[in-house]
Amino acid sequence: MLSRDLHVITVMLYPLMFSLIFLLSICSVAFSIALMSPIVLAVQNASSVSPVQAEYAISYTEKGADTCIKCHDEDNEVPILPIFKTKHGRGADRNTPFAALQCESCHGPGAAHAKQARKEGAKLSGSIIHFGVDSVTSVEQQNKQCLSCHENAAGAGWFGSQHESNDVACARCHQTHVAEDTVLVKDKQKTVCFTCHKRQRADIYKRSSHPLRFGSMACTACHDAHGSFAPSALIKATVNETCYTCHAEKRGPVLWPHAPVVEDCTLCHQAHGSNHAALLLHRAVFLCKQCHSPQGHPSLAPSQTALPDGTFRAFGKFLVGKNCLNCHSAIHGSNHPSGVKFLR
């Protein structure tokens, strides 16, 4: 916890920082428009290519995929034949890599790679575009290859998304050289997501959680990993709109709405998993009292005295069973003319 003084300074600096970054952003936009003419871009691109790379840049293999498969057969450390069981490997579709430059549609010109491999061994992926976590090819370049075809599927929300900002390569989640891409299979997808999202992995083993553990639901039921305009890359514009895709009964509008329900389900619920029933942030009797303390029973302390052996067991109906919801069960809002207190 930072000290109060430091906090005050931070708050004072905040508008200044925001203004500065906003100004710089505008400047960068202007710079982009003014200076990034095609000629400048051409010069920039040309200057980024080394003489060696330039030599290889247009050096495609003589035989295309046949050159690649000669080494990358089923016995190779990087087998590629299963790609013909995937959508990428359907040459009859003019949009696929195999309708164009085959392997080199994605991996770039491969003549140098093949030539060097014959001379020096197999570990020569640096001379082609190589995909994956351990790749020597930059994440940006890897993803650029994918986005050159998948610009609509991933492009609109991708730039600036959580995954793009954190340099997540497409190939970190997707496998293209296997018959079945794990992340696209509902009951297996979570194993891919959980390689990074450890908190969410822990959540599915808690007392209440969404049904991800045995694969009845996938992460993509709520999230768009390629980026969206909603918080946490949700599939709909807001948290509530996303929740309503499965829980439409909570939507309303109703005569007596409960204010936080209308606004944001996560004010009371922890979407991935919770140690409390119904994915609640806290045990309901404590959660309710974090917002309600009028005169009378809602202000009572939830103490052991109300348990069956306690001295004030008459108050147990406020504590056990569904506690506050033993009476106020229409907690998501009531459409009954007398439902002002969510009793009916």
Partner 1 sequence: MQTTVSVAVDQSAHYVAKHWKCKWCDYQEGRWGGVELGIGYVSDDAYRFGRETGLDDKGFYLIGNANTHYQDEAANFWDLRVRNIGTDSRWLSAEGGQQGSYKFWLGYSEIPYFLTDTARSPYLADGSESLVLPTDWVPGNTTDVMQALRSSLQTLQLGSERTSYTLGTTLYSGYFGETYSLKFNRDYKNGMKAIGVAYGGSDAFTSLSVLLPTPIDYMTDQLEFDVAYSSPTWQIRMGYYGSFFKNGNGALSWQNPYADLQSNTGLGRRALVPDNEFHQLYFSGGYQFSSTMRVTWYSAAGVMLQDENFLPYTINPMLGGNALPAKSLQGKARTWTFNVNLFSRPRPTLTWKVNYAHNEQNNKTDRTIWDSVVTDALQSLVQRQNPRYSFRNRSAKATMRHRLDNNNKIMVGVDYGVNERDNQSVEKIKKRNVWVKWKYKLNTTFDAAVKLAKAQRDGDNYRPLSEIIEPENRLLRKYNLADKEGDAFSAVLSYRPLNRLNLGLNINYSDDDYADSLLGLSHADYYSYSLDAICTLTKSFSFSVFYTWERYTSKQAGSQIFSNPDWFSKNQDKIYILGVGVKHTSARQPIEWGIDYLYSSAIEKQVLSGDIQLTNESLPEANNSLQRLQLYANYQLRESLRIKLSAAYEKYVEDDYSVDGIEVDTYSQLLSLGYGANDYGVYVVSASIRYGF
Footprint (CB under 8 A) of partner 1, residues 69-128: 69-70, 81, 84-85, 87, 89-96, 98, 100-102, 104, 108-109, 126-128
- CB of 119 or CB of 249, closer to partner 1: 249
- CB of 122 or CB of 267, closer to partner 1: 267
Contact present, 259 and 253 (Cβ < 8 Å): no
DSSP result, 308-320: TTSTTGGGGGGTS
How many degrees, rounded to 5, is the angle at CA 280 between CA 318 and CA 230?
A: 145
Q: Which of 76, 116, 220, 238 binds partner 1 (CB under 8 A)?
A: 238
Q: Which of 3, 5, 11, 120 binds partner 1 (CB under 8 A)?
A: 11
Q: Which of 76, 115, 168, 186 binds partner 1 (CB under 8 A)?
A: 186
- CB of 119 or CB of 295, closer to partner 1: 295
Q: Which of 216, 220, 232, 265 binds partner 1 (CB under 8 A)?
A: 216
Q: Which of 9, 17, 43, 122 binds partner 1 (CB under 8 A)?
A: 17
The one-letter amino acid code at 237 reads A
| 191 makes contact with partner 1 (CB under 8 A) | no
- CB of 116 or CB of 215, closer to partner 1: 215
**Rounded Cα gap, residues 288 and 52, in angstroms:** 68
Tokens of 197: 């999202």
The b-or-e profile of 297-326 (16+ CB within 10 A means b, else e) is eeebebeebbeeeeeeeebbebbeeebbee
Size of the site for partner 1 (CB under 8 A): 170
Q: Which of residues 283-302 bind partner 1 (CB under 8 A)?
A: 283, 286, 289-297, 299-302
Contact present, 110 and 70 (Cβ < 8 Å): no
* Interface map 137-156 toward partner 1 (x if CB under 8 A): xxx-x---x-----xx--xx
* CA dihedral sign of residues 141, 144, 148, 154: positive
Tokens of 206: 């808690």
**Rounded Cα gap, residues 108 and 54, in angstroms:** 12
Q: Which of 9, 43, 57, 78 binds partner 1 (CB under 8 A)?
A: 57
* CA dihedral sign of residues 267, 270, 276, 282: negative
The b-or-e profile of 81-97 (16+ CB within 10 A means b, else e) is eebeebebbeeeeeebb
| 64 makes contact with partner 1 (CB under 8 A) | yes
- CB of 121 or CB of 248, closer to partner 1: 248
| 162 makes contact with partner 1 (CB under 8 A) | no
Q: Which of 9, 14, 78, 232 binds partner 1 (CB under 8 A)?
A: 14
Contacts of 225 (CB under 8 A, 6+ apart): 163, 173, 183, 193, 219, 233
Beta bridge partners of 334: 256
Contact present, 120 and 156 (Cβ < 8 Å): no
Q: Which of 78, 170, 180, 272 binds partner 1 (CB under 8 A)?
A: 180
| 222 makes contact with partner 1 (CB under 8 A) | no
Q: How far is the CB of 63 from partner 1 (least distance, A)?
A: 6
Q: Which of 3, 5, 123, 214 binds partner 1 (CB under 8 A)?
A: 214
**Rounded Cα gap, residues 117 and 252, in angstroms:** 65
- CB of 121 or CB of 321, closer to partner 1: 321
User: Using CB under 8 A, which of the segments 116-124, 169-177, 259-267 binds partner 1?
Assistant: 259-267
| 220 makes contact with partner 1 (CB under 8 A) | no
Q: Which of 5, 12, 48, 121 binds partner 1 (CB under 8 A)?
A: 48
**Rounded Cα gap, residues 328 and 292, in angstroms:** 13
- CB of 96 or CB of 175, closer to partner 1: 96
| 221 makes contact with partner 1 (CB under 8 A) | no
